Amino acid sequence: MNIVIIEDEQLSAQSLERLIKKLRPSFKINMVIKSIETAVAYFNKNKNTDLIFCDIELIDGPSFNIFSQVEIITPIIFITAFNNHAKEALKTNVIGYLTKPFFEEELETVLQKFETLQHKEQAIISMKENSIKKDVKLLIHVKGDLFPVSLVDIALFCFEESNIYLFTFQGEKLSVNKTMQYLEELQPNIFYKANRQFLINRNAIANVKRINNRRLQVKLNIFYATEIYISKEKTSNFIKWLSIK
């Protein structure tokens, strides 16, 4: 388990590091960071952190400035002596708090909470992996005939002119007599609802580009004329979904 501590007080950082090593000897402290600038540079280059301990007040400002500059989906345990930052903390991936000075019981509680969340996430991933093995098919009506189409062969679902269409990786466009909600729930590990118009297969994504106001533009590996965007509000959720194999 890879841990990063963001704390500008050396004694506090050392105290926390000792307690973590005592309670969880298998946890590895990858980095102790003292400033916002260093943290932003670190997380822009390193994406393998499993848990972050972060002091709310750093020498160069509130640590919330880190998370407004770099996309972080890692769980965070905030370190604070105050309780007036709850509103800002809710905008991050906070799972708990520690207060100074540190106590074993308090640290053990938040570590257990983190491990419980990890186990639940692993169980969800396992369920998704099992579901992906099933060859789910849609029955498509074409001129009075029915044709089964495997979901893995579908690159995109699109809502156009009050109708829903699927686009296959082979370039076919077929009408679908289902709702977007129904399609979205079939294989949520494969398909992501980018917005009200598009449901995209992860295997159809060629690349993702960040544009103005932190929106994301999704480029597909099939020809599709309309540009597809992920809103700022869904950016973090989309990146997390995309990172789960």
In this structure, what CATH number is given to the domain that contains residue 156?
2.40.50.1020
**Predicted pLDDT of residue 86:** 46
CA separation, residue 90 to residues 70, 80, 155, 213, 232 (Å): 16, 14, 35, 21, 16
Residues forming a β-bridge with 94: 76
Whole-model pTM over 0.85: no
Confidence of residue 87 (pLDDT cuts 50, 70, 90): very low
Task: State whether 43 and 86 are in the same domain.
Answer: yes
| Residue whose pair of structure tokens reads 């905008």 in the numeric block | 91
Residues 165 and 234 both lie in one domain: yes
Helix (H, G, I), strand (E, B) or coil at 64: helix
Res 88 pLDDT > 60: no
**Within this chain, do residues 20 and 125 fall inside the same structural domain, yes or no?**
yes
* CATH code where residue 69 lies: 3.40.50.2300
Number of domains forming the structure of the chain: 2
147/239 same-domain check: yes
Residues 158 and 94 in one domain: no
- 232 confidence band (pLDDT: 50, 70, 90): confident
Structural domain harbouring 153: 137-243
**In terms of domains, do 146 and 51 share one?**
no
Q: Please say which residue of 107, 130, 153 terminates a domain.
A: 130
For all residues of the chain together, what is the average pLDDT?
86
Decide which of 83, 112, 130 is a domain's last residue.
130
In this structure, what DSSP letter does residue 153 have?
G
One domain, residues 29 and 121 = yes
pLDDT surpasses 80 at 180: yes
Verify that 63 and 176 share a domain, yes or no. no
Same domain, 141 and 124: no
Residue 204 has φ and ψ, to the nearest 5°, of -95, -5
Which pLDDT score is estimated for 134?
A: 59
